[in-house]
Structure 1
Amino acid sequence: MSHNTRQRRLDAMRACDRILSGVRPTTMRERLADMDAGGDLDDQPDFYGDGPVTTLEARVADLLGTEAAVFFPTGTMAQQVALRYGADRTGHPTVALHPLGHLEVDERHAYAHLGGLRSTWPTTAPRNPTAEEITALAEPVSTVVVELPLRGAGFVLPSWDELAAASAAAHAIGARVHFDGARIWESTPHLAHTLSEIADLADSTYVSFYKTIGGISGAALAGTTELASYARIWRHRYGGAVFQQWPAALTALAGLDRELPRIPEYVRHARTVAAALTALPGARVYPAPPHTHRFLLWLPHPAQALNDASLALAEEERVWFVAGWQETAVPGMAMTEVTVAAPALDWTAENIAEVGERFLGRVVDH
């Protein structure tokens, strides 16, 4: 997408009165208000990780029920430290990953290029590995990574029993369990357990502060005090000991206060939205019902035609429906991710059907 097209979409979405998928883009001035909501701006800023960063770390450790948590500027860095720790402690350079996970798809194989580690895939199925697949691994692994939810497969989650069994199987083969919990915040309704109960199944958990809860950046790695000490050393070595990170810390704290309590409501309403979208001609959603407040949507039209229709609807009617369409391996069938957040809560199934008809009426297949 060109810069001009991206800016046009942002401007159109910001001007909309109603938004079904996603949240209204914010300006830098609006983000400053978030910082004020996250703490007292008259306090001193952090210096290499104290002050509001320490407050955020303690908050995360409390939410996840872990001994400690360490702030990182990026999730990529936090994940590399977690895997390096596992390899150092077990002596095994192999980690069990999913080919659709962040570590393989989004982090440019940093675990291999920076950490000298290699991966094995317990499964290529569009879900996290089962206990049986972990037990059947043909070589020793230092860490078994479970992404909650697995975005690349459609924001899918295992059941609680499946997750507990997978964790037990990993420990039984002498491996650590690491939860790639970038979006773990939205996993509690489906798993029907608290964040601390979920994290208790893992030896380490990574969380993101800009995904789901709306911070401007940052992540945390949570686990034992021993892991935290190790993580602080390697954070510095990786270049993550940033002089001041109070803007990220304060917006993360604000997000934990504002967004985290609302996630169960978003997940419930996502089921209504998904069912209504399924009624559109040729539509398909997955998973059905959604496991979180995000899911995948397919429509039988070219991606460019759908994106053009979405932008036209936004600019002419000030209504943002569903955008971000991409082509799939099936010609003429496009896919996108739908995110149901606060702006979507006042949309009824009838609203979605009505606007969906107007949206599809603007689609011009070429």
Structure 2
Amino acid sequence: MSEDNEDTEREKRQAAAWRGAGRMLSRSLRDATVAELLAPLAEAPYDMDRPADLYGDGVVAELERRVAGLLGTEDAAFFPSGTMAQQVALRCWAGRTGNPVVALHPMSHPERWEGGALSAVAGLRAAHATTEARQPTAEEVAGLAEPFGTLMLELPLRDAGFVLPTWEELEALVGAAREREAVVHFDGARLWESTVHFGRPLAEIAGLADSVYVSFYKSLGGLSGAALAGPRAFVEETRVWRHRYGGRIFRQFPQALAALAGLERELPRLPSYVEQARRVAAALGPAFAEAGIPWSRVHPEPPHTHQFQVWLPYDPDRLTEASVRVAQETGRVLFRRWFPAPVPGLSVTEVEVTEPGLTWTGTEVAEAVAAFAARL
């Protein structure tokens, strides 16, 4: 069997184990069937007897109005992907400021996961206030050696552990950008669940920035899609560029209905997910020690959102195999795939807590850790 076939069979085995388990902290986006994805659409808060959308009207326009209202902005535009939304936003701000330099973290989504599109497609250039796995400080932004037109902050910074600044640090970061005569854009793919950490409503958080991007599937359980929110004239300009980028789609009612359903169902529940994630995280450290695992790290501790990292001193394939066996043999999913950590000899995984994990107790977490450790 070729190496590619072995990888495919391994992935199928992993997916089957996790999909077949009865207890988990969260459903994976990969687990859902077509029927499961279609079911919430009929429950969306929208009149199904109205005509379907055409090029962004109807239910898509209703979603845009809802998002603008939640974020307290003048307008919002639906985009088929967050990658497109952010590239358009940063391109538009560069045109308005006359400066193609974007200050952003090297671990942010445009730098890591978009194939160099900022420079290759939009002709923009990145500047990094810090390379450390954390949010930048106001002092670092103020001290950037070259002028920049836009400061982009990913809230939370996913690849660093879903980390957020404090509210005071965020205000200072925005203030530092203003002192440099730059605009501020929030990559808020997961901004929805950041209200607990900041202790502020969505509109107050978004109000610090000139523009905000939010995702409809990463926390809200939608099918796909994103929105850009901000001043009306700016959002209208992004709609022009959306068309140029190929994002003016004939019909998008499934994505819009799924997003409306997510805003109705998941958005109010996100604070409870964050609180439960903190309880799960607090139980993990003592459970690892009790199970005889020599070293562990939960990051950040406590979690800033309902997602966080776990680090352990084992090979990632060994940890993933233990995770699969726990699912197969106990019917519980505590962890899924593991990956090499930036530090040699360590591995890292991401833990997410949503509705399925709300009933987990500290005792159940400890039992799942013991089962996991026994299979290492």
- TM-score computed with the length of structure 1 as normaliser: 0.96
Equivalent of 1:4 in 6, 9, 12: 9
SS of the equivalent of 1:70 reads: strand
SS of the equivalent of 1:69 reads: strand
Aligned to 1:89: 96
Contact 1:21/1:321 (8 A) holds in 2: no
Gaps of 5+ in 1: none
Aligned to 2:179: 172
Contact 2:26/2:355 (8 A) holds in 1: no
Gaps of 5+ in 2: none
Aligned to 1:60: 67
1:250 and 1:3 map into 2 onto residues whose CA distance is 33
2:96 and 2:221 map into 1 onto residues whose CA distance is 34
Aligned to 2:161: 154
**Per-residue deviation, residues 83-109 of structure 1 (Å, max 9, x unmatched):** 111111111111101001001011122
Equivalent of 1:316 in 310, 326, 329: 329
Equivalent residue pairs, number: 363
Name whichever of 161-170 and 32-41 sits farther off: 32-41
1:310 aligned partner, one-letter code: S
Superposition map of 1:229-240 within 5 A: 229-240=236-247
Cα distance, 1:20 vs structure 2 = 2.5
1:23 and 1:37 map into 2 onto residues whose CA distance is 21
**Per-residue deviation, residues 298-319 of structure 1 (Å, max 9, x unmatched):** 1222111111111112122221
Cα distance, 1:332 vs structure 2 = 4.1
2:361 maps to 1:348: yes
SS of the equivalent of 2:365 reads: helix
Aligned to 2:38: 32
Cα distance, 1:5 vs structure 2 = 2.9
**Per-residue deviation, residues 265-323 of structure 1 (Å, max 9, x unmatched):** 11111111111111202221111111111111012221111111111121222211111
1:283 aligned partner, one-letter code: S
Superposition map of 1:286-301 within 5 A: 286-301=299-314
Aligned to 2:253: 246
Cα distance, 1:170 vs structure 2 = 0.7
SS of the equivalent of 1:217 reads: coil
SS of the equivalent of 1:210 reads: coil
Cα distance, 1:14 vs structure 2 = 2.3
1:192 and 1:150 map into 2 onto residues whose CA distance is 18
Cα distance, 1:11 vs structure 2 = 2.6
Equivalent of 2:222 in 210, 215, 235: 215
1:84 and 1:323 map into 2 onto residues whose CA distance is 37
Aligned to 1:134: 141
Name whichever of 349-358 and 216-225 sits farther off: 349-358
2:173 and 2:185 map into 1 onto residues whose CA distance is 11
SS of the equivalent of 1:61 reads: helix
SS of the equivalent of 2:219 reads: coil
2:241 and 2:193 map into 1 onto residues whose CA distance is 29
Aligned to 1:270: 277
SS of the equivalent of 2:228 reads: strand
- TM-score computed with the length of structure 2 as normaliser: 0.93
2:142 and 2:329 map into 1 onto residues whose CA distance is 56
Cα distance, 1:324 vs structure 2 = 1.2
Cα distance, 1:253 vs structure 2 = 0.7
2:344 and 2:151 map into 1 onto residues whose CA distance is 36
Aligned to 1:76: 83
**Identity between Structure 1 and Structure 2 (%):** 53
Aligned to 1:333: 346
Equivalent of 2:234 in 202, 227, 240: 227
**Per-residue deviation, residues 25-76 of structure 1 (Å, max 9, x unmatched):** 2211111111112234443221111111111101100010000000000101
